[in-house]
Amino acid sequence: MTLHAFLPRELPSGLEPLTDLALDLRWTSSHAGDHLWRALDPATWASTRNPWIILQNASRERLEAAARDPAFRHDLAAILKERHRYHEGGARDAARATPVTAYFSMEFGLGEALPLYAGGLGILAGDLLKSASDLGVPMVGVGLLYQEGYFRQVVGADGQQHELYPYNDPTALPIQPALASGGGWLMVSVELPGRTVWLRAWRATVGRVALYLLDSNVPVNEPVDRGITGKLYGDGVETRLKQEMVLGIGGWRLVEALGLRADVCHMNEGHTAFVVLERARAAMRAGGLPFRAALWATRAGNVFTSHTPVTAGFDAFPAELVAKYFPDGRGMLAELGIGLDELLALGRPPGAPAGEPFRPAFLAMRGARHVNAVSRLHAETSRALFTPLFPRWPVAEIPIGHVTNGVHVPSWDSQAADEFWTKICGRDRWRTAVAALEEAAARVPDRTIWELRGLGRAELVAAARARLERQLARRGAHPEAVAEAGRVLDPDVLTLGFARRFAAYKRPNLLLADPARLRRLLGDAQRPVQLVIAGKAHPDDHEGKALVESWVRFADDPALRARVVFLEDYDLTLAQELVQGVDVWLNTPRRPWEACGTSGMKVLVNGGLNLSSLDGWWAEAYAPGLGWSIDGASDAADAEAIFRILEKEVVPLFYDRDAEGLPRAWIERVRASLAKLTPKFSGARMVAEYDERYYRPARLEVARRLADGAGVARALDAWATRIATHGPGLRLGHLEVRPRDAGAEIAVEVYLDDLAPRDVAVELYADPPTPGDPPTRVPMTSAAPLPGSAHGFLYTAVVGGERPASAYTARIVPASANAAVPLELPFVIWHH
């Protein structure tokens, strides 16, 4: 029998498969086995929801009793059969010959049993891994194992937020040491000034996907280095730089040490950018390539996703700090064959002054062949943010696409919702596109939908009461107040939910703009409303903490306690309870500061509706009849709008009932939201889109550039060198417009210095006729050499009459069938 680390016991005969079940984090979304763990240890299950801890601590007597229990054994067999069906074909990442996507992220939010996330970025990463597992997309995650993770929130009676940092005991986490091929713990190293840091690798199983985590808390390391992975987003800019080096450089070395064929590397945010350097270094060693050719080759297999809506959100490291960790002429720079200035230039805009900081997001942008934002509106914002990397290029042509985020639906649906969808669409509904979902939902009786909502609301009320009782008891509240907490809220009252990070741009206090009006809304005797609030402020965000305090004080009003509660320590488990129970999810960010936002997506499957700013995903999702919207621009106007919508639309729609007691118009809105939005904003759609648009093309392109001794990559490097050398000598001369019956012929003199005409393209450019449309680009062809000129040519093109000839401008851009311009070579010459 194989004994797993941190499980120093043999399980009774027949229960051995429980070990693999407990270590497979699929239980964070598939709840078929919950009753087994609850049966083994009800108290531990209620407090931890961690099967691994239950397996470690359940009494021998209880385990033996379960082994003798025919019902327990029967249920275990059924779960194992379903798991085998799910894993049919084997774990894709285990086959070393199978190409995989290595997904790098600073945080992963898979469940509270593995608390390695701070917020939406990590939850998104966790949902992406789960969705990849469901779809069978070959992938491995790469991250860090933090000794503390993000903080836990405690709110005092005075409304003040306090932060706690509990220790992540690896023995209690559902992870196992990753083993080296020759036996022993798999370890990789990263060079830091004057020493080598060793990193041990852990593996978490997420269905058919593996997540590998690096840990610097190794006895051979110096104390300062054992703390590199001490805390998620560790204190100080220097610690952050070391974390990003460990993740990017150490992470790629781990992928290689595992023997995985990771031909695609997906960088989730700029924190991961140093993988660009290490992947290029590996290609240099493998193929004898110089750095620039290696970068041309490997960037073809790199995908970069930015989640940042404002420049201030980009990490920025002082040049002198980068010089300390990347010393000129030594270490990694010596291996890469580049100097410090060349490295710094990869993380700065062109022509930046010496004091300009190094931004890893810029390195990621320059090191990727595919770049995307996380919503359509965020793509527009991101093009403006990255404009400094593309001087003289129109914003509309900044090469950033978008894949709108999605959520792993099974992780967020309630048990009742899961049964609801299984009945109408089958058990594999979220593993594929559900084309017939709207038709199936249309056949569901109104009463069934309304009962689903009533059950979800009742479960949320029960959970909120229990949480509030514990919360008040911990504060030392009077027993009467604790008892009163068990009676707050009403399972039959319209329930609004607002929960997220408390930051000024998210405007969590928008409803408090008019406290008297909010009191009237909550206290209406005939049509009452109740509100459940949760959220954390960053430990250093004093304004955010003040927003927390304002809600705690408001909720503490004796006249309102039955209708509004603030629940402390907003985490993944509380988020699940909220999205499964609320009738309306509120989201009020200032536009366009919400890159995407996924919290509102999580209510869809449970029949909740959204009232949100037209920002992020809601700008794509909203349509009349699916929810409600506010502009997201002016605080005063939006506060007025949200009250008006609640008073005039939401409340009447919820409480207007027919003779059967059903709010038919409300149910129809729920039905439309369930059917039209749930699949569109699912993780299955998101991962399928990444796979089709980015992973598969990247896999083919990187193989092509590396084939035959990296011939294509070497040729691209030589081409780029020619452009850099001769670009300053390129110019456009006299331009002439020759009218035609249906448009005009435009001719321009082009001087190519010593470049071959095939190295560049000459074209006419016109700005988009309306915002959001693509620009117009008309190729020009070389008509003849210019007499008396060594490198001059006359180029011509014909344009139609739909736009005047004056709308067009001639330009020279790099041209290669093998390169993405301007992403990989942002050079352009305009006619003046």
Mention every residue, 6+ apart, whose C-beta is less than 8 A from residue 307: 120, 121, 124, 268, 269, 374, 378, 595, 596
What are the C-alpha distances in Å from 740 to residues 89, 785, 796, 803?
64, 24, 13, 13
For 629, list phi and psi in degrees, rounded to 5: -140, 155
What was the pLDDT predicted at 94?
A: 44
**Rounded to an integer, what is the distance from CA 64 to the centroid of its chain?**
43
**H or E element in which residue 319 lies:** helix 319-325
What was the pLDDT predicted at 91?
A: 42
What was the pLDDT predicted at 89?
A: 54
What was the pLDDT predicted at 722?
A: 96
Tokens 């990070």 — which residue? 501
What was the pLDDT predicted at 327?
A: 95
Residue type, 606: N
What was the pLDDT predicted at 240?
A: 96
Q: Are 582 and 167 in contact (CB under 8 A)?
A: no
Cα–Cα distance measured from residue 730 to residue 722, given in angstroms and rounded to the nearest whole number: 12
Cα–Cα distance measured from residue 482 to residue 561, given in angstroms and rounded to the nearest whole number: 12
Tens digits of per-residue pLDDT, 296-328? 999 999 999 999 999 888 999 999 999 999 999
Cα–Cα distance measured from residue 13 to residue 200, given in angstroms and rounded to the nearest whole number: 33
Nearest to residue 626, comparing CAs of 614, 639, 641?
614
Q: Are 332 and 190 in contact (CB under 8 A)?
A: no
Q: What HEC string does 616-642 produce?
A: CCHHHHCCCCCCEEECCCCHHHHHHHH
Cα–Cα distance measured from residue 193 to residue 245, given in angstroms and rounded to the nearest whole number: 12
Q: Are 467 and 502 in contact (CB under 8 A)?
A: no
Cα–Cα distance measured from residue 265 to residue 368, given in angstroms and rounded to the nearest whole number: 9
Dihedral, CA of residue 780, residue 781, residue 785 and residue 791, to nearest 10: 60
What was the pLDDT predicted at 783?
A: 77
* Confidence (pTM): 0.96
Positions of the chain with pLDDT lower than 50, given as ranges: 1-3, 90-95
Reply yes or no: is the peptide bond before residue 768 cis, omega within 30 of 0: no
CB 286: neighbour CB atoms within 10 A?
13
Q: Are 702 and 280 in contact (CB under 8 A)?
A: no
Tens digits of per-residue pLDDT, 615-648? 999 999 999 999 999 998 899 999 999 999 999 9
What was the pLDDT predicted at 234?
A: 73
Q: Which domains does the chain have, with CATH numbers?
A: 17-86 (no CATH), 92-152+159-405+691-705 (3.40.50.2000), 450-681 (3.40.50.2000), 730-830 (2.60.40)
